[in-house]
Structure 1
Amino acid sequence: MVSQPDVPEPAHAELDSMLSRKFGREVANYFSGSPLNRVSFLRTNHEFITKALTHPSTSFLLFNNLAPLVKDPANLAYAKHEDLRELIGENPFEKSEEELIKEYNSSVTLPLVLFLGLDERKKEGFEHGIYKGQPFFAVDVTPKGTVEKQASAVVESMKGKGLEFMEGRMHMSLNAPEAAVYAQARALLDWNARNPFCGGCGQPTLSINAGMKRTCPPTDYASLPNAQGATTTEATPRPRADCATRKGISNLCFPRTDPTVIMAVVSHDAKRVLLGRSKRFPPHWYSTLAGFCEPAESVEEAVRREVWEESGVHLGRVVIHSTQPWPYPANLMIGAIGQALPDGEKIHLEHDPELEDAKWVGVDEIKEALRVGTSGLGEDAGPEYKEGGLRLPPQTAIANQLLRAVVGGFLESGEVSKI
């Protein structure tokens, strides 16, 4: 069994307030709880970004094909500026965004450097006005384009130090604070990688705002591809095709976040919980139901729709429990608890064939599975697990948190639901 990392501590957990007394303390999920202050309004401040990137205390988190640099599965590893100088130069933010746009050459690969934020727990050293802390950046060192040689050298240099780029579709073994830093960086790198071309005109885009925005420049020093597919550099920039994103105030493309609902569904008598299993799940492994929000749909409506589509169960009251950033690639999991209508508990899977099975499970069985049968999809259950018993997601998944809330006091078994 792989050791499961802790989830982050809730914000202001000990604060006594009207809201905490009425609704309980805030719930924090894995991938949230970042130690970094993003100071997002400073990303366009040229002086700040330049000073932050070149400061001796600055740390750089490296990614190779979205695989993060780590010391071990629980701990990220960080590089320093001198490790990256051949790839990113002395200062990739030396020129203003206006200059970068004016000098844009789509045939030249500019290494992607993202500003993540300041760790204000470490106030010694870097400061900019009233803002103090250790700056953190993320850099894409995937060997590609015109910087393939330089990026490859960085990758090999890191490996030569005994570090590795942790492969895998998902990384949920990192300690909680660094998991949040990783999630922010991964989501932004993935978004930049998926948007190399403008959605309005299809031409190449340029990353600006320290990785948080992409723009469609009006000119390009690169000539059009020749018959062999190569491009050359023009002496003067050529005007690019007209684009709607350059008109008015719409010259922008910002990172997207896709809202997704995930819900623990309780029976009307509050004694059972609805669980489902996908075809890709290992034997006996079940989870809560989930699905994407659709346009012009409230979270509560999305919960009721997805549950009915996937299981045939009709829900009444729905309440929001907590949320979880999910950087695969860029979702916000909105966790909810819903209760079935008295005459709406019959399960049938005829609507949406997404689930292989769905069933009502007693609260006591879920409590036991949370104690001995949680694990990631590719991991073994705990040593006390008995083959054939119910298996559930690990504590790093919001599904686990929702189930713990339901069986641990959010509902009291044997009473009418308090939802």
Structure 2
Amino acid sequence: MKHAEQVTFGGSGMNRAAHIRADQAALEAALHHPDAACVLLWRGKPLMRGEALALVPMNHPVLAQPLGRAIEAPVLLGLEASGAPNFACDISGWEPEGQDASTVGAFHDPSEQHHPDFPPDHLFTELRRVMWQLSPRDAELAATAKAIVNWHGSHRFCAACGVASAVSHAGWQRTCPACGTHHFPRTDPVVIMLITHGNSVLMGRSPAWPEGMYSLLAGFVEPGETLEAAVRREVFEESGVRVGRVDYLASQPWPFPASLMFGCRGEALSREITIDPVEIEDAQWVSREDMMAVFAGTHATIKPARKGAIAHFILHNWLADTLD
């Protein structure tokens, strides 16, 4: 795909500095680097300043407060070309008094939270709302920080023996002190597919989505399954449509909570649709002309996939004839 690495959360070429993760002296030097900064997260929401990440100095007073973090130690995200290190830090235990937190974690979270130790324009914001506005570097930092903190929050105990595990390798590993098992960050593979038949594309919607929103069909890859097989299986399970040829297009890290989306395209062998109501609420064929109206915001009933999501990215390139 011509523009594959222009997808949101990809393409900034961040130096992840894996070579110093196990070097305690190098990590200490990184933490005390004069330009060291962190992506600050509160319950999965990054601290933003307008359309940019608000990178916080590692000596900021908020980082010294006992705020019930999902992970106590900062996670090394990588190094800038200047040598300045970036970290991920979590303050999920902070309670925003008098501020709306009722929608936190929801698919659509319009709320923003202000911590009193920061200026008024520094707000914790749902990443899905602002991801399309971020620079490539800010997007990669935010996605990496959110995914790794999510993982630590849900993998605190050894899966082999049940004992509480300890953070190691700058946050990129957890080690069991009892049985010695090493645990590494998990990424779940997901296929999301542009299924076409002639001049139309197959679109579906989940009942949890905003009214009128449709997107490409998607599903998790199962153990022992190829991407191509997963595409054919998921499309048939959800819509009853059989798929022939399948090609890979692009990938996108998707930290909601920790997936890697494999964008594919497939050729439908028929147009008959029989949905599985447990999987999706509706599916329909949408012509290229109608999809152009959807993207223009003038379609009577269909709203587009969220900006920044790989579904929006693939559909945009399909309309622009830039998939090849």
TM-score (norm 1): 0.66
Quick check: which has more Rg, 1 or 2? 1
Shift of 1:365: 1.0
Q: Look up the match of 1:176.
A: 135
Q: 1:158·1:164 contact (CA, 8 Å) conserved in 2?
A: no
Q: Deviations over 1:159-186 (max 9, x none)?
A: 3x33544244734344132121111001
Structure 2 residue identity aligned to 1:353: V
Task: Find the residue that maps to 2:232 and give its secondary structure.
Answer: helix
- Whole-Å Cα distance in 1 between the matches of residues 320 and 129 of structure 2? 28
1:111 to 59, 72, 82: 72
Percent of pairs with identical residues: 35
- Alignment equivalent of 1:356, drawn from 270, 276, 281: 281
Q: Which residue of 2 aligns with 1:325?
A: 253
Equivalent of residue 304 in structure 1, options 232, 237, 259: 232
Which residue is 1:282 aligned to?
A: 210
Moved over 4 A (4+): none
Question: CA 1:33–1:293 in 2, change beyond 3 Å: closer, same or farther?
Answer: same
Q: Distance in 2 between matches of 1:179 and 1:325?
A: 10
Contact persistence 2:71–2:90 (CA under 8 A): no
- Matched-pair contact (CA < 8 Å) for 1:272–1:361: yes
Is 1:294 the counterpart of 2:222 in the alignment? yes
How far apart are the structure 1 equivalents of 2:240 and 2:84? 51
Distance 1:62 1:334 in 2: 28
Q: Could you say which residue in structure 2 is the equivalent of 1:399?
A: 311
Cα deviation, residue 142, structure 1: 2.9
TM-superposed CA distance for 1:59, in Å, is 1.1
**Contact kept? 1:284, 1:389, Cα under 8 Å:** yes
By how many angstroms is 1:67 displaced?
Answer: 2.2
1:43 maps to 2:21: yes
- Give the partner amino acid of 2:272: K
**Secondary structure of the corresponding residue to residue 46 of structure 2:** strand
Tell me, yes or no, if the aligned pair for 2:37 and 2:85 is still in contact at 8 Å: yes
Q: What value does the CA root-mean-square deviation take over the aligned residues?
A: 2.6
Task: Tell me the CA shift for residue 58 of structure 1.
Answer: 1.0
Correspondence for 2:187 among 257, 278, 288: 257
Question: What residue is the counterpart of 1:315 in the other structure?
Answer: 243
Q: In 2 relative to 1, CA 276–143 (structure 1 residues): closer, same or farther, beyond 3 Å?
A: closer
2:243 is aligned with what amino acid? L
Name the structure 2 match of 1:67: 45
- 1:57 paired residue number: 35
Please give the alpha-carbon distance, in whole angstroms, between the structure 2 residues aligned to 1:86 and 1:367: 47
Given the superposition, is the C-alpha separation of residues 118 and 308 from structure 1 closer, same or farther in structure 2, using an over 3 Å criterion? same
Q: Equivalents in 1 of 2:249, 2:291: separation in Å?
A: 18
Give yes or no for contact 1:63–1:165 (8 Å, CA) kept in 2.
no
Name 1:134's counterpart in structure 2: 84
SS in structure 1 at match of 2:141: helix
CA contact (8 A) 2:288 2:319 kept: yes
Q: Which amino acid aligns with 1:357?
A: D
Instruction: Give the direction of change, closer, same or farther, for the CA distance of 1:193–1:316 in structure 2 (3 Å limit).
Output: same
Q: How many residues align structurally? A: 301
Instruction: Give, in angstroms, the shift of residue 216 of structure 1.
Output: 0.9
Q: CA deviation at 1:211?
A: 0.6
Q: Distance in 2 between matches of 1:315 and 1:392?
A: 23
Residue deviations 1:326-360, cap 9 Å, x none?
0011100000010011xx321111x4622111111
CA deviation after TM superposition for structure 1 residue 34, in Å: 3.4
Take 1:54 and 1:64, find their aligned partners in 2: how far apart are those partners? 23
- Distance in 2 (CA, whole Å) between partners of 1:208 and 1:163 is 34
1:78 aligns with 2:79: no
- What amino acid does structure 2 have at the position aligned with 1:360? W
Following the alignment from structure 1 to structure 2, what is the Cα–Cα distance between the partners of residues 290 and 115?
Answer: 31
Structure 1 spans left out of the alignment, 5+ residues: 1-22, 90-108, 124-132, 145-154, 219-242, 374-384, 412-418
